[in-house]
Structure formats: structure tokens, C-alpha cells
Amino acid sequence: NTVHLIAFSIPIKKGKIECATRPNQDPLEATTGLVPLLGIDVWEHAYYVDYRNVRPDYVGAIWDVINWDTVEKRLIAAKK
């Protein structure tokens, strides 16, 4: 089973936000040059107990617990 990290990231050189995935918890910035703003762990261990292996329900619910203030601070820092 492959681990995927979904991250909305900002490429420092391009200055735009994009969505990127990385298998096996590979570091985003070191392997792509993208600065992580938000990551969602979608490997089974992250949601099996609460969501009984129903990944779409887990991903849908994640939006209710994201700390948007932290995401904003990361975006501001990445733009500098």
C-alpha cells in the first residue's frame, strides 16, 4: 500500500499555488521544491478506526478540522 500526501503547495520560483501528491511520505520541498501549506495523510492508518476504511468520508471531513490560520501563515511565509 502506497502512502500519499496531498499538499497544496506554492512553488517558490513560480509564485502560484498548486496541488501535489507524494508517495511513501517523500518530503515535498526536498523532492519537488514545493513548500507545503497543507497536507492530508490519506494512508489507511489515518482514518481506518473512525471511518472504517471509507476514504472519501475522511477526506470530506478533514475540511472541518483544518487550521486555516496556520495555512495562511505558511502561505505568507512562503511568499517572502
What is the predicted pLDDT for the residue at 14?
A: 65
Please, what sign has the CA dihedral across residues 31, 34, 39, 40?
Answer: negative
pTM for this prediction: 0.69
Q: 17 burial class (0-12, 13-18, 19+ CB within 10 angstroms)?
A: middle
**Which region holds residue 63: left if phi is over 0, alpha if psi is between -120 and 50, else beta?**
alpha
What is the predicted pLDDT for the residue at 69?
A: 94
The answer to whether 44 and 54 have CB atoms below 8 angstroms apart is: no
Task: Provide the residue-wise pLDDT of the chain in tens; the chain has 80 residues.
Answer: 444 444 555 555 566 777 777 777 777 778 877 888 888 887 777 777 888 888 889 888 988 988 999 988 988 888 77
